[in-house]
Structures are given as C-alpha cells and as structure tokens.
Chains A and B, each alone.
Chain A
Amino acid sequence: DTGVSQDPRHKITKRGQNVTFRCDPISEHNRLYWYRQTLGQGPEFLTYFQNEAQLEKSRLLSDRFSAERPKGSFSTLEIQRTEQGDSAMYLCASSWGLGPNQPQHFGDGTRLSIL
C-alpha cells in the first residue's frame, strides 16, 4: 500500500496525558497536512508543511499542539495535557506540487478518545 499511513489507528488516554501521532505521506509528496474531524462534521485544517517547513497553522492549533516534519518525510503531531475536547479523528493528508491546487490524499486517521 503506497497511500498515506497513520499510526496508531486508535488511541485511548486519560485526560492530562500527552499523545503523539505519526503520519507517513505518499513518498514523492512534498506537502503534508493535518486536519481534525469530529463526528458529523467535515475535516478542519490544523497545519501544513512544505518539505520540512511549517507554512501555516490554524488558530485551532493551541499551544498544547505541536507538529513537526524534521526531514521532510514523516510528520508527528503531539498533544500535551489532553482535554476532553481533544477527542476527535486526526487526519493526515499529502500532496505534490508547489502550488496549492493539487488534490490532497488522506490517510485513515487516528481516532483519539480522552477518558
């Protein structure tokens, strides 16, 4: 399978704990995106990278959230001191190109449940 890969698929943790998710994009894609999706809603943009540079962050991405893409390949999204409201599906997508108008291809997400 050469699509976008996310790990883990499911994460259950207690409130206040830190969690980290990993995304492996399609290998030749230089852009990587993180979105969050809650039940019944469309995905909401969190942040995106072009190669290793983080080019945009949503105001949804509070100080407790941090994303990295150190070598321009895989990316990690960390949430510190998790809260109930962080429960959601975290989706990663990737695309190729320098311009914005390229289709983004999504992974199957990491579902986070906060107890």
Chain B
Amino acid sequence: GESVGLHLPTLSVQEGDNSIINCAYSNSASDYFIWYKQESGKGPQFIIDIRSNMDKRQGQRVTVLLNKTVKHLSLQIAATQPGDSAVYFCAENKNNQGGKLIFGQGTELSVKP
C-alpha cells in the first residue's frame, strides 16, 4: 500500500556532527513533502518543506533533498546540537487528496554532548 517510511528508527550522533535522517515514500504521485520535529509532550513542529519540482531546499542549518527517481527524501542537520534531540517525521501530500498529510513512523535523534 501507499506509505511513507523511515529507514532507521533511532539515530545517535555526537554534538557538532552533521545528521542525516532518511525517508522513503512509495507513491510517485506525491508532490509535496514536509519534515517535522516532535519533542516529548509537544505537537510536531514544522522544519522545512519541499515541492516535487525541486530536488533541494535549504533552511537554517537544515537541508532537505528529494530524489524522485528512487522516491527518497532526506533531512540533513548541520552542526547538530543537544536541542535537536527529538523524533523527526517526514510526511507527504498528494495533490488529489486535499490537505491530508501521510506521516511515517519517525526517527528518534539523540545528540550526545
């Protein structure tokens, strides 16, 4: 079935290193992708989005890469900080399905000082 999934459930990195969180999606009709950060007890926090007509987008310390050929999405966090520790979700939207976002299971990022 259609799904958005993450390759790794947990990721542990050293403070100051770069982090890469990966996501696979199965539906080539998806045309919009979002990364969220969720801390314990809080709602998902928007990080960055990308549309299917782009393959890269940069924000502050974050970069999202989209590879439509292999249906792969990644989030790169530069100079990871302890405050980046959280669960990260990718989500997709298909234009013919209104506003519904389909989320993956999530990757827990742990930053060691």
Contact = CB atoms under 8 A, between A and B. Distances in A.
A48 B41 contact: no
Contact of A104 (B4, B31, B99, B105): B99
Interface residues of B, number: 27
Interface in B37-57: 41-46, 49, 51
B34 A100 contact: no
A35 B36 CA distance: 14
A97 to B, nearest CB: 9
Given A56-B100, A91-B44, A42 B95 contact: no
A110 to B, nearest CB: 10
B104 A42 contact: yes
Nearest to B34: A103
Given A44-B103, A100-B93, 11 more contacts: A42-B103, A50-B99, A100-B32, A100-B98, A103-B49, A104-B101, A106-B44, A106-B46, A107-B43, A108-B42, A109-B42
